[in-house]
């Protein structure tokens, strides 16, 4: 019997929305198991910090049927969970700021052999569909702020 293949998706996952679900469902098609790494608040420097705690975001992601296991990111080294999970593929979100070539190089330097894919964007299904946590927060502030 062969070992199951593993895919890794990663992100902040603050205020889950249909864009997140699309990303995770697509990532799951690349392997038998989907592992999700939820970024720690302290490591998020490219945008506003998340509203929800690290623990709550991880638990929410893990509750999704498409996810086999959710992990919190490492406090200092984002590649530690990757080395532990040993994925066959890492699936980046369509709009994530990561440089796929730089990730490949770092993985090769660390002896991790996996490919990198990029998920497609989810197209809105109606005019008022919100596909980002920032857009959800803006809508809340607009209506209730």
> Is 4 among the annotated ligand-binding positions?
no
> Is 12 among the annotated ligand-binding positions?
yes
How, if at all, do strands 69-72 and 89-92 pair?
A: unpaired
Helix or strand holding residue 31 (H, E):
none
> Is 95 among the annotated ligand-binding positions?
yes
Cα 59 to Cα 2, 24, 106, 140: the distances in Å are 29, 15, 29, 23
> Is 74 among the annotated ligand-binding positions?
no
Helix or strand holding residue 33 (H, E):
strand 33-38
> Is 17 among the annotated ligand-binding positions?
yes
Sign of CA dihedral 54, 66, 25, 15: negative
The SS3 of residue 24 is helix
> Is 13 among the annotated ligand-binding positions?
yes
> Is 20 among the annotated ligand-binding positions?
yes
Binding residues: 12-13, 17-20, 95
Binding residues for ATP: 12-13, 17-20, 95
């Amino acid at each position: 019997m062969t070992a199951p293949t593993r895919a890794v998706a990663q992100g902040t996952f603050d205020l889950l929305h249909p864009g997140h679900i699309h990303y995770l469902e697509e990532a799951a098609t690349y392997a038998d198991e989907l592992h999700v790494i939820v970024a720690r608040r302290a490591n998020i420097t490219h945008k506003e910090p998340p509203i929800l705690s690290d623990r709550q975001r991880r638990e929410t992601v893990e509750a999704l049927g498409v996810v086999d296991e959710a992990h919190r990111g490492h406090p200092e080294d984002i590649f530690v969970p990757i080395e532990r999970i040993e994925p066959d593929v890492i699936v980046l979100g369509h709009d994530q700021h990561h440089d796929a070539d730089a990730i490949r190089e770092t993985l090769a330097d660390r002896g991790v052999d996996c490919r990198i894919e990029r998920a497609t964007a989810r197209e809105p299904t109606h005019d008022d569909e919100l596909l980002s946590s920032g857009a959800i927060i803006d809508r809340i502030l607009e209506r209730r702020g």
